[in-house]
Each structure stands twice: as C-alpha cells, then as structure tokens.
Amino acid sequence: MESAALTVTPLAGGADELRALARSRPLLLVFAHRDCPTSALALRHLRAAGSAEPELVIVAEEPPQEAARLMLRAGLRAPVLAQEAPFAASSELGVEAVPTAVLLDPGGAERERLVGWDRAGYERLLGVPLPADGPDRKPGCGSRAVEPPQAGGLDEPEDMFERGFTDGLPVVPPTPERVDAMLAGRDPDRSLGRVPPSHGEATLSRVAACAVLAGCRPEYFPAVLAAVEAVLEPSFNAHGIGVTTQPAGVVAIVNGPARERLGLNSGMGALGPGSRPNLTIGRALRLVLTLTGGARPGGLDRSTLASPLRVGLCLAEAEERSPWEPLHVERGMAAEQSAVTVLAADAPLSVSDHRSRSPEELADVLAQAAGATWSPYWWPMDDETLIVLCPEHVDTFAAGGWSKQRVRHAIFDAACRPAASLRRGEATEHVYAAADDEPVHKWTDPGRILLMVAGGEAGRYSAVFGPCDGMGTSAITREITWTT
C-alpha cells in the first residue's frame, strides 16, 4: 500500500486539536522524539503500515524542522504534527514516555494506548503485519513533557555502551543511513554463515553494522567482508579462538592493489596507531566475532589475559620493499589480485637486532626470539608463526642472495635444541619420550613459518607473532572483490 505524503504541521492547540482531527475517522497518534532509540525503532517498523485504518499520525516532540529530519531518517511517510515546549498535547494526554501510541475513536475519545515498542500491539491496532527484525518489545524513553531535552541531544556513544554495541571503546552508531552506505547496494540479507561460538548469523547488514561501529569508511567494506569470510572457514576454527583461555587474536594481512586503494599502512608504524583503514578493518572483524559470534570478554570469551589483538589488527605487506613474492602470491593468488590473509596469533614480540651483518646471524636471532613464543619449552609445535621483517632486516637477506624459502629453512634449522634441554616447565610428550641428545625443532616443519615485509626504513626491529596452539587453526587467504 502507498504511504501518505510527508507533511509537517506545527501543533498549537494541544490535545483538543488532536481530538478535532479524529471527528470523522479513527486516528492512531504515535508520540516520538529524535533522542529516543525506541522511537526510531518504532517509526522504522511503521513504514509497513501504509494506508492502514486507523490513519497513522506522528506527533513529534520537536520543532518542525527536527520533526521532518526524524521522519526522513526513519523513511516514514505519514502526516506529522510538530509540538514544541511546553509540549501541551503530550502533557494533556498524559504521555510520559515515547513512543506512546494513542488510538482515538471518531469524535476524539481514547480507545486504547501502547507505551514503548510492542510489535504485536501495533499489528493488532493497525491490522497489518510489521517487519519481524529487531526486538518484539522494548521500553521507551522519557517524554519531553516529563524530561526536558538534553543540551546536546542523545549521548550516542553512551547509548551504544548501554546496548552492548562496543568493544569497550566508543563506537559510531550504526544508523540505517550509515549501514545502507556501507552496503552500497549489496543484499543486506545475504548470509556469510554462522559465527561461533554462539552462532549468530553474519548477514551482510550485520557485518555492515559492525563496520560502521568500528569507524570504517564504505570503501573498506570489501576487505572486511573477505576477512569475515576467511575467519568463518572451518579450518580457521573461530570457535576455538573465541572461547580459549589463550591470549590469541586475529591478524589480518592485506596484499595486492587493495593496499593503495584503501590507503593501508605498510610502512612506519604499520602495527600501531595512525592509520584509519588499518585500525578500523581489524576492529570491524573483531566486532563481528564479538557481537554476532558472542565472544564477549568474561562471557564466552574466557581469555586469561587477552592481548591488544583481541581489539583487532590489520596491516598491509610492503610488497615494493620485498625481494620476494608477496604473501598472497605464495599462498596461491595472482599478484594483481587483492587478498586478505587471516591468522590466529599471540601478540607481537619485538626483535631488535642492529648488529647482525650476515643472513646466518640474523636468521639465528629471529629463530631464538621465535623459539620463546607460546612457551619456551613447548617444542615442537604444529602451528603457524608469523614473522614481520622490517626493510633493513630484509635487505640483509637480500644482500646475501637468500630466497624466502632459504630464510624460512634457516630459521627452522636454528630453532633446534636437544630434547634434554627442553624438559622444564611446560614440555611436550614428544620431548619426554625422546633421547636426551635428539634434536627437536620449534615447529614440525619449515612451512609453519610465514614471512612478510612491513615497517619503516629506519630501525632494525622486526616482530614475531607467536603461534596459537592446540586448536588446529590455519591461516586462510581470501580474495577481496569489489562488486556488489
């Protein structure tokens, strides 16, 4: 059914003016204001009312221009009456909260009222079905006739905290307009699958809402989608990552043309602050796992200490500074493709080495640092370790003519100790069963070592992201696609 045209009329006569409007037909008056999230919820759902009987009229506790904005944000086309302070109509009808729906018979007598959002109640009064998304019932907010408006309007960050739509940091409210802009024409109901551990459904609209919350720009959304698709691969084991007592989080690595297109930082400070796409893409991915997947700290997320990775981390590889094939090419993608690789890992360990001048020395330094990650005596590990090499360190390997494969094997060979030296604290059954002089490597094979290049030109600081053990998680690479 067609909705009525949007008209905004100042309300001057209080409740008597409203009763006069109902002389020839029943009216459903809905009182609302812009600072109430439940009002916005109700108005969005009432778009489906169309030209139902009784006629729907919105009574906004706002000046006319704000009443019009309220309706436009909700996408609702219906007659609007704008009342300003002292909100006589609300006071005379005893409206103490918004939204309040008052059903007036022809002649102006009140037949029934609803306070707050009540889907079934509105469907009964209007005689039409309303959208089933969102809550069936939700309490409202104080009427302006009872609670004067806040000087700055609704405190949106605080409202998001109260709703639980946060990772502990302030977020951007995911208004319908912002979510639509993030979707850019994509089907909001398309599902990427269920997100462990609580198995909420990752529809594109929910993922877009998380991207808005995180502060993403719409152009970042393809990278967020690819990262979400990757973590939902069964072999990534998002369930294990979500509920473990380990500190592990997710590292997202972007390769290919998307690096420049999105403005991702692969240089100085690539693992730190300062770059909006780096910070918000990683945060959006984590919010999907937390809000849709239910991996909330102290709830299903049982991480003993956690780490900053559980807020989110995304970086780009400095492909132009690398003498080797980039990570996504090594993992089966074409160089001209854009891709994101997700990896479960511990927080990074900084490795300072300003003295090594040969590839052999540097490989040994990196091996000893990597050997201490997870647990210094838990060898061997059938898990992946990410090593981010800074430009000065990778230049040392390049000057020696070393390939990426040779670097990987050299680190693997250097991270080797006799079994007897590993029988302390947390040690593996393999170590206890081995002969004292049997050599044991940190990893089960060299392929468990992932190498990439990033960082500033000055300073010989690389980083090791320790492995995440015991859950069989594997790094996953997915193409970033730009079409809707």
Domains and CATH numbers, the chain: 7-142 (3.40.30.10), 155-318+328-339 (no CATH), 347-467 (no CATH)
Of 106 and 267, more confident: 267
pLDDT band at residue 274 under the 50/70/90 scheme: very high
User: Could you report how far apart the first and last alpha carbons of the chain are, in Å?
Assistant: 29
Asked if 254 and 264 touch (Cβ cutoff 8 Å), the reply is: yes
Tell me if residue 224 falls in helix, strand or coil: helix
pLDDT of residue 4: 43
Looking at per-residue pLDDT, the higher value among 164 and 290 belongs to 290
Q: How far apart are CA 364 and CA 357, in angstroms?
A: 12
Please give the pLDDT value at position 14. 87
CA gyration radius, the chain: 29
Q: What is the pLDDT of residues 32-55, one digit of tens each?
A: 998 888 999 999 999 888 777 888
Instruction: Summarize pLDDT for 69-87 with one digit per residue, the tens.
Output: 899 888 888 899 999 989 9
The model's confidence at residue 3, banded by pLDDT at 50, 70 and 90, is: very low
Residue 22 pLDDT > 70, yes or no? yes
- For residue 483, pLDDT over 60 is answered with yes
DSSP symbol at 422: G
For residue 5, pLDDT beyond 90: no
What pLDDT was estimated at residue 160? 79
**Nearest alpha-carbon partner for 287 in 245, 358, 372, 224:** 224
Rounded Cα distance between 215 and 200, Å, is 22
305-353 pLDDT tens trace? 999 999 999 999 999 999 999 999 999 999 999 999 999 999 999 999 9
The answer on pLDDT for 234 being more than 80 is: yes
- Summarize pLDDT for 133-184 with one digit per residue, the tens: 878 899 888 899 886 555 445 567 777 777 788 899 999 999 888 999 999 9
Q: Which residues pair with 348 in a beta bridge?
A: 465
H-type alpha helices, 46-183? 64-74, 88-92, 119-126, 156-163, 176-183
Query: What gap in Å lies between CA 88 and CA 69, rounded to an integer?
Result: 22
Residue 401 DSSP label: T
So what's the pLDDT on residue 214?
97
Least confidently predicted of 43-57, 276-290, 400-414:
43-57
State the pLDDT at residue 484: 58
Nearest to 351 by CA among 271, 259, 191, 462: 462
Distances (CA, A) of 103 to 27, 107, 257, 462: 6, 12, 58, 69
* Mean pLDDT score across all residues of the chain: 92
How far is the C-alpha of 68 from the C-alpha of 76, rounded, in Å? 10
pLDDT at 208: 97
Residues 455 and 412 sit within 8 Å (Cβ to Cβ): no
**Which pLDDT score, from 0 to 100, does residue 1 have?**
28
**pLDDT value, residue 371:** 97
Share of the chain above pLDDT 70, in %: 97
Task: Give me the mean pLDDT over the 378-405 stretch.
Answer: 97
Surface-to-core class of residue 73, CB atoms within 10 Å of its CB (0-12 exposed, 13-18 middle, 19+ buried): middle
* Residue owning tokens 């089933």: 132
Residue 117: pLDDT band (50, 70, 90) is very high
Q: What is the pLDDT at residue 6?
A: 61
Q: What is the mean pLDDT of residues 9-17?
A: 87
Buried b (16+ CB within 10 A) or exposed e, 310-336: bbbbbbbbbbebbebebbbbbeebeee
Average pLDDT over residues 256-273: 97
**pLDDT exceeds 60 at position 2:** no
70, 258, 307 from 476: Cα distances, Å:
44, 17, 21
Output the pLDDT for position 188: 95
Assign 235 a pLDDT band (cuts: 50, 70, 90): very high
410-416: average pLDDT: 98
**Listed range (115-119, 158-162, 206-210) with the worst mean pLDDT:** 158-162
**Average pLDDT of span 13-19:** 86
